[in-house]
């Protein structure tokens, strides 16, 4: 039996759906039923029910966006650093392997090739980098699991949310047997305030940047596949291969959904941060080759995006 934590959340719902589709025996726990955030409560549940594997899709995300974490720092720290540590310690004490949904937002930028050398560039909105990405995306490479987070409390500036996610990873690495699955900007075909493709359509103005992103269903499948193929425990970047600019995503939305509106973009970071955002945003490219080497393949990002838009299900108002 698999224990799924956070099944009521945006990512957790998809784990529940996929586990059901795979015919896997699984149970869900919600804090309202059993307060799994308490070490003794969780450990005694694990010892009694003896799951073979635990999936942690619980955590604290700011709503409607990461700015909300700045005014809810205790909840953010609890959900993203203390909770994973509690689960890691309880699973280690009970001898149960587990997987933790982390985030790629602990990085900013990408590695960029210039004059035969790869150099980390933290801000991909610089005009010369922007032009290079459109002309030669092969000059850009993502951060690997070996690279230290560069958008974290150790390497500021960062958002408080990203800082707690990086600290959470740091605190659980090496405790028991775990997968750390890095999700990044989830999207899919289901219109929802949590879906990146919906967010872009609802913003008054769009922030243009370059990112690796994860189709929600593809992400969940890849995480469960890693466990099923018995891949070595450790950190995995779980994003659809490639990177896209927000402008390219807007072009796809226009081409497929043909929305009855024009899209405009914030002129630059100065305008974006003075009007629409408070805390720094992470925009980054991640390298997915470790996942591929483990035998788990995800669709290229262009394919996953196009397919989501072709199968788009608008949100029904109740």
Ligand X SMILES: NC(=O)c1ccc[n+]([C@@H]2O[C@H](COP(=O)([O-])OP(=O)(O)OC[C@H]3O[C@@H](n4cnc5c(N)ncnc54)[C@H](OP(=O)(O)O)[C@@H]3O)[C@@H](O)[C@H]2O)c1
> Is residue 296 at the binding interface for ligand X, with CB under 6 A as the rule?
no
The contacts of residue 34 (CB under 8 Å, 6+ apart) are 41, 42, 45
Q: How far is the CB of 35 from ligand X (least distance, A)?
A: 9
Residue of the chain from 4, 167, 183, 238 that contacts ligand X (CB under 6 A)? 183
DSSP of 175-210: SSSEEEEEE-SEE-SB--TT-HHHHHHH-SSBPP-E
Which run of H or E residues covers position 251?
helix 246-257
Q: How far is the CB of 83 from ligand X (least distance, A)?
A: 6
Q: How far is the CB of 267 from ligand X (least distance, A)?
A: 26
> Is residue 78 at the binding interface for ligand X, with CB under 6 A as the rule?
yes
Of 59-67, 242-250, 276-284, 307-315, the segment contacting ligand X by CB under 6 A is: 59-67
> Is residue 83 at the binding interface for ligand X, with CB under 6 A as the rule?
yes
Question: How many CA atoms lie within 13 Å of 22's alpha carbon, on the beta-carbon side?
Answer: 18
Of 8-16, 172-180, 243-251, 282-290, the segment contacting ligand X by CB under 6 A is: 8-16
| CA neighbor of 124 nearest in space, from 252, 211, 200 | 211
| CA neighbor of 110 nearest in space, from 141, 64, 133 | 141
> Is residue 31 at the binding interface for ligand X, with CB under 6 A as the rule?
yes
**Cβ atoms of 282 and 162 closer than 8 Å:** yes
> Is residue 8 at the binding interface for ligand X, with CB under 6 A as the rule?
yes
Residue of the chain from 53, 61, 133, 304 that contacts ligand X (CB under 6 A)? 61
> Is residue 96 at the binding interface for ligand X, with CB under 6 A as the rule?
no
The phi and psi torsions of 46 (rounded to 5 degrees) equal -60, -40
* Residue with smaller CB distance to ligand X, 30 or 302: 30
The contacts of residue 210 (CB under 8 Å, 6+ apart) are 110, 124, 130, 133, 140, 243, 244, 245, 283, 285
- What's the rounded Cα separation, in Å, for the pair 303 and 294? 22
* Residue with smaller CB distance to ligand X, 129 or 235: 235
Question: How many CA atoms lie within 13 Å of 300's alpha carbon, on the beta-carbon side?
Answer: 5
Q: Which of residues 108-127 bind ligand X (CB under 6 A)?
A: none
Taking the chain, what is the end-to-end CA distance rounded to the nearest angstrom?
A: 35
> Is residue 51 at the binding interface for ligand X, with CB under 6 A as the rule?
no
> Is residue 192 at the binding interface for ligand X, with CB under 6 A as the rule?
no
Q: How far is the CB of 9 from ligand X (least distance, A)?
A: 2
| CA neighbor of 15 nearest in space, from 39, 27, 275 | 27
> Is residue 194 at the binding interface for ligand X, with CB under 6 A as the rule?
yes
Q: 79 vs 38, 139, 151, 184, 186, CA distance in Å? A: 12, 37, 19, 18, 19
Residue of the chain from 86, 103, 152, 201 that contacts ligand X (CB under 6 A)? 103
Of 53-61, 222-230, 256-264, 284-292, the segment contacting ligand X by CB under 6 A is: 53-61
* Residue with smaller CB distance to ligand X, 193 or 295: 193
> Is residue 101 at the binding interface for ligand X, with CB under 6 A as the rule?
yes
* Residue with smaller CB distance to ligand X, 219 or 266: 219
Site size with ligand X, rule: CB under 6 A: 25
Residues engaged in binding ligand X (CB under 6 A): 6, 8-12, 30-31, 37, 57-61, 75, 78-80, 83, 101, 103, 165, 183, 186, 194
């Amino acid at each position: 039996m698999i224990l799924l934590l956070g099944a009521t959340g945006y990512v957790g719902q998809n784990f529940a759906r996929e586990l059901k589709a795979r015919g896997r025996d699984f149970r869900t726990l919600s804090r309202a039923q059993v307060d799994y955030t308490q070490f003794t409560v969780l450990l005694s549940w694990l010892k009694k029910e003896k799951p073979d594997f635990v999936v942690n899709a619980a955590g604290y995300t700011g709503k409607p966006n990461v700015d909300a974490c700045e005014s809810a720092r205790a909840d953010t720290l609890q959900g993203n650093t203390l909770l994973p540590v509690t689960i890691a310690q309880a699973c280690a004490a009970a001898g149960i392997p587990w997987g933790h949904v982390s985030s790629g937002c602990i990085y900013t930028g990408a590695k960029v090739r210039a004059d035969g050398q790869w150099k980390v560039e933290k801000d991909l909105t610089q005009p010369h980098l922007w032009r290079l990405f459109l002309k030669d995306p092969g000059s850009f490479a993502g951060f690997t699991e070996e690279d230290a987070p560069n958008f974290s409390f150790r390497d500021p500036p960062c958002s408080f949310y990203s800082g707690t996610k990086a600290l959470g990873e740091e605190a659980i690495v090496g405790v028991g047997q775990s997968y750390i699955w890095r999700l990044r900007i989830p999207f899919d075909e289901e219109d929802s305030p949590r879906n990146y493709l919906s967010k872009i359509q609802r913003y008054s103005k769009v922030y243009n940047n370059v990112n690796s992103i994860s189709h929600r269903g593809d992400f969940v499948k890849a995480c469960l596949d890693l466990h099923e193929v018995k891949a070595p425990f450790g950190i995995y970047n779980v994003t659809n291969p490639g990177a896209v600019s927000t402008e390219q995503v807007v072009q796809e939305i226009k081409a497929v959904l043909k929305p009855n509106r024009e899209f405009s973009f914030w002129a630059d970071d100065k305008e974006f941060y003075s009007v629409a955002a408070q805390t720094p945003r992470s925009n980054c490219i991640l390298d997915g080759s470790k996942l591929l080497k483990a035998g788990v393949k995800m669709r290229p990002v262009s394919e996953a995006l196009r397919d989501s838009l072709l199968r788009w299900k608008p949100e029904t108002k109740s």
